[in-house]
Chain A
């Protein structure tokens, strides 16, 4: 992190100026960033940490410049975790030519405390005095000229939400880049400044600013030192400050900073009238939204609506995206390749494998995209912070932060946005636990599998069986958080301290940009994994190990069949018969995507002919298929309106026909399922389906959010837990038939669970001995 070359943007080919936007959370920083850059943004991670990195290109008066949106933090010194380290490191070592410090005019004093810290860096600075409209409504009189005079830097009054003041800002940025204003590193009073000098001299670091920052952090007791020489200098500095100011050194330094902020704010803001009106709308809404009685029900109702609209509403467009992308990416690409003279096998692999994988990704754009839109809407309106507060007491009992419930509900629709949405949780420990819970939330894709089995085995009480599976998922998720939170990553949920921004009408631009950024990450990062796995799954059923080595075969002798037969004995304890290898194939395919389990079973049971596919490539009806795809939108709209009260689609369970249709299984498949399972083994199989690896996309999201180590843990843990649970269920159900063997299996599973707990505890204790731990992104 401290290497300059590793910082984003450090290796730019040509020298475009870099403008960094810095400020507290909730001050309109992202709004300003969006205003400057529009849609030309890049989202990624800062190196080594899961702190979102956003940069964009702005064209200001014909000059291209790169704009970096720093994480919103309240201070650069301490108490803010990874976000703060990123912001400080970038400001001290990064390549910013200009710092835009955005502050909230309605709360200037607090924001100026960080301005003081920013000025320590000594980079050219322009201040954006944002939300002057809200300040004026409160009876305050912002005075940018006097503020500018006091600070010695240009100050631009703005309302970033409406774009008011943009022209002035552009002018100020252009002027500042052409002729950088000299920022005087703000000095303390001599009683602090002089003793500080001695400590700064012994600090490691390459720049004056870095040494000064580290010295301040030590004096303010934000970090500790282990170097004897520095500890000695620190002691001397503290004693000198204490004897000169008569105060504790940390208090004196912080006190000076806050005092400076107070005095400067008085210069920059006047009062029109003494008693400012409270923001009555916000107060009134909060009375209801935060009330002891209604807080939790309102939150659950809001999330339920988000869920219904995202997934049921997303279904309106799901078939359209599915069929359009299938037409273009599979048939269209297949046709194109064939007409270019590409050999059949290469065409089949490219169109069927990669195209088929991408088709899967695009199919899920509507529900996932809508979820991201609603999450952004909740964040931008100011409700998300309230939800966290309302749920905090309940979730804290399970060692989780209040906002952990948001991703969980999203997880019912799809685990991928749930894992990515866990970023709303600040505390890294809470975030890790929340992410690890998500794979157990029963997503909508798993429902198709439940449906097919419910039709065959649980006709009368299919609804209850499916509900029981959902419930089991929730219970396992909470137990997982509880278990890991007590062993591997011990600690309390952080004390709840959160700013509640005033309710604001969400800005369409912010919401859409935010949702688009997240969707783009899903498409680019996660899509790559799915396309690769789709390719493997396409090849496996078509080739097999014969006497002459690998060759193309029918599905019965394919690698998929061979592999499944070899793996089948592993699933015997949970009731999968050795000759029921298609069930195992379904699980292998399901590790890539739950949506294709039934499809794989269909394919195997129906011996789908690959010649058909080539014929479709030769003579595709692109226009006709696109028309059909478009026509699914009105048809699905009607269906959506009739099922508003049933987002899980449980109503489909009421008749066999509709359940069959909902599962997408063919009659041949259902008959084969009926022959291969008993009701008990079917239920055990479904439990395994619920708990083991959710899908390739989820694995990709896990890797991105918590690192390879925790991803591997999650996969192993899920598979193990699914196998253990399914085995216990099956063995307990058939106990009377073979009591000794069943007891043996059950004891073995419980022993394995015990071993897991001991191992996690050992890992946790070892971690606790390490001086500094960064939970997220670390290998377990």
Chain B
């Protein structure tokens, strides 16, 4: 998808990452309940997430910490990532 757009420093959503890519979460949009639920599963600003599956119409499966988390399309569009700190999966394994 937008693999080569790293120089654009506008925050992008998880939906714009490609499968296998990792990035640091910069901001959680959406309501209070969604933000809380994401935080409980370890998805919060400053954390590195990797896309294991998708993103697609369904949403995406992310790896965060040691777990996989499945998120609907509406959710991944509201999770913004910092494209500057985007890395390939091999560099991001902890």
Contact = CB atoms under 8 A, between A and B. Distances in A.
A125 B59 CA distance: 39
A317 to B, nearest CB: 37
A231 interface: no
Given A79-B36, A79-B40, A254-B39, A498 B59 contact: no
Interface in B37-75: 37-42, 44, 52-54, 56-59, 61, 63, 65-75
B65 A109 contact: yes
A500 B70 contact: yes
Interface string A79-112: 1100000000000000000000000101111100
A46 to B, nearest CB: 20
Q: Which 5 A-B pairs give the minimum distances between C-beta atoms?
A: A496-B72, A79-B36, A107-B66, A74-B40, A500-B68
A214 interface: no
Given A80-B40, A500-B61, A495 B34 contact: yes
B6 interface: no
Contact of B58 (A271, A393, A499): A393
A78 B65 contact: no
A497 B36 contact: no
A545 to B, nearest CB: 59
B11 interface: no
A239 to B, nearest CB: 20
A715 interface: no
Given A109-B42, A109-B65, A496 B93 contact: no
A720 B74 CA distance: 38
A495 B30 contact: yes
B60 to A, nearest CB: 10
Contact of B57 (A104, A271, A393): A393
B90 interface: yes
Contacts of A501: 67-68
A286 interface: yes
Interface stretch (A287-295, A323-331, A615-623): A287-295
A496 B69 contact: no
A258 B44 contact: yes
B30 A497 contact: no
B32 interface: yes
Interface stretch (A1-9, A384-392, A522-530): A384-392
A221 B37 CA distance: 13
B94 A110 contact: no
Given A390-B58, A392-B58, A497-B38, A138 B66 contact: yes
Most-contacted residue by chain A among B53, B61, B67 (CB, 10 A): B67
A283 B70 contact: no
A14 B37 CA distance: 40
Interface in A220-250: 221-222
A276 interface: yes
Contacts of B74: 495-496
A281 to B, nearest CB: 13
Given A271-B94, A287-B53, A393-B58, A74 B66 contact: no
Contacts of A113: 40
Given A497-B70, A502-B68, 4 more contacts: A106-B66, A287-B53, A497-B37, A497-B69
B1 interface: no
Contacts of B39: 79, 254
B33 interface: yes
Nearest to A221: B32
A75 interface: yes
Interface of A: 74-75, 78-80, 104, 106-110, 113, 138, 221-222, 254, 258, 271, 274-276, 278, 282-283, 286-287, 290, 292, 295, 385-386, 388-390, 392-393, 396, 494-502
Contacts of A80: 37, 40
A577 B40 CA distance: 62
Interface of B: 30, 32-34, 36-42, 44, 52-54, 56-59, 61, 63, 65-75, 90, 93-94
Given A222-B36, A276-B93, A499 B41 contact: yes
A405 to B, nearest CB: 15
B75 A497 contact: yes
Most-contacted residue by chain B among A110, A254, A287 (CB, 10 A): A110
A233 B24 CA distance: 36
A74 B41 contact: yes
B72 A392 contact: yes
Given A107-B65, A290-B61, A393 B40 contact: no
A499 B41 CA distance: 8
A497 B66 contact: no
Contacts of A221: 32
17 contacts: A79-B40, A221-B32, A275-B93, A276-B94, A286-B61, A290-B54, A385-B70, A392-B58, A392-B72, A393-B58, A495-B75, A496-B59, A496-B71, A497-B37, A498-B69, A499-B69, A500-B67
Contacts of B59: 389, 392-393, 496
A78 B75 contact: no
B70 A498 contact: yes
Nearest to A295: B58
Given A74-B40, A286-B52, A499-B69, A79 B33 contact: yes
Contacts of A500: 61, 67-70
Nearest to B90: A275
Nearest to A275: B93
Contacts of A494: 33
A759 B79 CA distance: 39
A291 to B, nearest CB: 8
B93 to A, nearest CB: 5
Given A74-B40, A221-B32, A495-B75, A292 B70 contact: no
Contacts of A104: 66
A287 B71 CA distance: 16
Contacts of A295: 58
B93 A75 contact: no
A104 B44 CA distance: 20
A396 B36 contact: no
A499 B67 contact: yes
A568 B45 CA distance: 67
Nearest to A292: B56
B72 A495 contact: yes
A605 B15 CA distance: 66
A417 to B, nearest CB: 26
Contacts of B58: 290, 292, 295, 389-390, 392-393
B73 A393 contact: yes
Contact of A396 (B67, B70, B72): B72
A138 B67 CA distance: 12
A280 B33 CA distance: 33
A704 B71 CA distance: 31
A107 B57 CA distance: 29
B40 to A, nearest CB: 4
Most-contacted residue by chain B among A80, A295, A495 (CB, 10 A): A495
A490 to B, nearest CB: 16
Contact of B37 (A79, A107, A390, A396): A79
B64 to A, nearest CB: 8
Nearest to B73: A393
Nearest to A258: B44
Nearest to B30: A495
Nearest to B64: A110
